[in-house]
Chain A
Amino acid sequence: MNTKGKAFKYGDNVDTDVIIPARYLNTSAAAELAAHCMEDIDAEFVSNVKAGDVIVAGDNFGCGSSREHAPLAIKTCGVGCVIAKSFARIFYRNSINIGLPIVECAEAADEIGAGDEVEVDFDTGMITDKTTGRQYKAQPFPPFIQNIIKKGGLLASIKEG
């Protein structure tokens, strides 16, 4: 499995309130949520993002609220992967649970520039910046989590045992 697309770059502590503002939390419909993804940090995001694109950010991505609407909005608007220096723990857990690939890699998060063409191979953990030609190796998921992803999310993994 992999994703390939353009990088959207943000800083540290991107919180769930800017990923999906609470004024839109009166719905749980994924498509409606996706229409407002990143609205309060980057009003142009939704009109520019294409399937397979990658969000690149600093430390503590997804901090704040436990709203699963945040990774759901990101996934539904087509983002193929989020690369960050670190993730807030509930966001990390929610992303895995709904099947949004997320990768921790400080070097890649620092060096990948906005608009760079990026490819992420989830099987090997290899991140390639095709614009600069640089490659980065991220930690693969531990087996416990790989299993959840392989089964297609937490609930599917429980149903299949």
Chain B
Amino acid sequence: MGMTMTQKILASHAGLDCVEAGQLIEAKLDMVLGNDITTPVAINEFRRAGFEGVFDRDKIAIVLDHFVPNKDIKAAEQSKSCRDFACEHCVSHFYDVGKMGIEHALLPEQGVVTAGDCVIGADSHTCTYGALGAFSTGVGSTDMAAAMATGKAWFKVPSAIKFELTGKLPKNCSGKDVILSIIGEIGVDGALYKSMEFTGEGVSELSMDDRLCICNMAIEAGAKNGVFPVDDITKAYINGRCEREYKVYEADADAVYERTVKVELDKIVPTVACPHLPENTRPASELHDIKIDQVVIGSCTNGRMEDMETAYKILAGKKVADGVRCIIIPATMAILRECVERGYYTAFIDAGAVVSTPTCGPCLGGYMGILAAGERCVATTNRNFVGRMGHTKSEVYLASPATAAASALTGYITEPKEA
């Protein structure tokens, strides 16, 4: 029986010729990731279990990104515990303030993860790296602790849903609109425990930033992972970034899928997920009477260079509407630097926006843009649960960078003319 792309990567890392959905396997890991929220819990467990060393200092990545620069004393203590642990075990991929970025933008950018890898991360959006043709999934801190000691993790081999992409996106749409549309269609548990495998001629029309955004939100459909095939666009992105050799896996022609969902890219419209679930999607054009107080452009979903470019094209030479706070957060230091070099930073400030150093901050209601009761935010982030960005009576509308930037100018949810 044929295997899906995900099953092939897992089989190879488990040292097996063949695996099938439902099978329990133990797989070798190419990278184990944690952040400043989840790593301290993993360190507690690691120490409590009496582990002395890590399996491979080059295969562990610890990124301080959620609450840094430290938002308070407790956050500072958590960062310090990560820093001390990374130092004690000589962790190669430790990213502190000045070097850090939002983990899921940073690791692909820095070539820490690559095609064919098997990766776990103590962060639910670890599924992002499927865009590179890797198997990558979020786990908890105990799994991270065990993996740091053993270099292995157990998995139940997932079945898969195939998403067949055709056509080309309209100019005012991006990967975010694709994934929001898909979640709107299949629901927040529509891919529970499964792989989301993106295939079809439409793949070649999507940039790497689009693919990273799409895989990033696979978890919002409940999926174990999302994955794209490796093509010339992937190779152009990977080459020169990762010192390790990459490996290309392809789904078998007779791979078994639970179902196939057709996604016509040319029919995608700017899409917004209304409170309080990512599946509550509506076309942006139907929401023009929703008045907003804040816009956030950033996060592991949409803080990449293309997202900044989109925001720049819409905001440059214009003014953010009175009564709207527009917060722009480039996801890595390299992206921030590029924004400075290209003049985006100045244009954002001139438009009346603020620009932050990289942080997950507002996305999870940590800091840097918390909402009061009754306030509404259009955000390029990934979750709009009750209280996600602040008060339980605040509201988050998830959208693309183009929709968010266009909305910042009008003060109402606004369909962008062009991305």
Which A residues have a C-beta under 8 Å from some C-beta of B?
A: 13, 15, 17-18, 21-23, 25-28, 40-41, 59-60, 63-69, 71-72, 86, 88-90, 93-94, 97-98, 142, 144, 153-156, 158-159
Contact = CB atoms under 8 A, between A and B. Distances in A.
A72 B387 CA distance: 20
A17 B140 contact: no
Contacts of A18: 385-387
B67 A26 contact: yes
Interface string B44-61: 110011100000000000
A158 to B, nearest CB: 6
Interface in B32-90: 37-38, 40-41, 44-45, 48-50, 66-67, 71-72, 74-75, 78
Given A60-B189, A93-B139, A65 B364 contact: yes
B277 interface: yes
Interface string B169-205: 0000000000000000000110011000000000000
B162 interface: no
26 contacts: A13-B189, A17-B387, A22-B388, A25-B37, A26-B67, A28-B41, A28-B44, A40-B386, A40-B387, A64-B383, A66-B123, A66-B140, A67-B38, A67-B140, A68-B41, A86-B192, A90-B140, A94-B141, A98-B140, A154-B142, A154-B146, A155-B49, A155-B146, A158-B49, A158-B149, A159-B50
B101 interface: no
A67 B146 contact: no
A21 B387 contact: yes
Interface residues of B, number: 50
A93 B146 CA distance: 13
SS class, residues of chain B in contact with chain A: loop
B188 A21 contact: no
A89 B224 contact: yes
Nearest to A68: B140
B45 A155 contact: yes
Given A26-B72, A155-B145, A66 B189 contact: no
A142 B22 CA distance: 11
Contacts of B224: 89
Given A40-B392, A90-B124, A155-B146, A59 B364 contact: no
Contact of A68 (B38, B66, B193): B38
Given A90-B139, A94-B142, A98-B142, A67 B37 contact: yes
B380 to A, nearest CB: 17
B150 interface: yes
Contacts of B123: 65-66
Contacts of A158: 49, 146, 149-150
A60 B366 contact: no
A22 B143 contact: no
Given A26-B72, A67-B38, A17 B385 contact: yes
A27 B142 contact: no
Interface string B146-175: 100110001000000000000000000000
Contacts of A28: 40-41, 44, 78
Nearest to A91: B140
Contacts of B126: 66
Nearest to B35: A66
B130 interface: no
A82 to B, nearest CB: 15
A89 B138 CA distance: 9
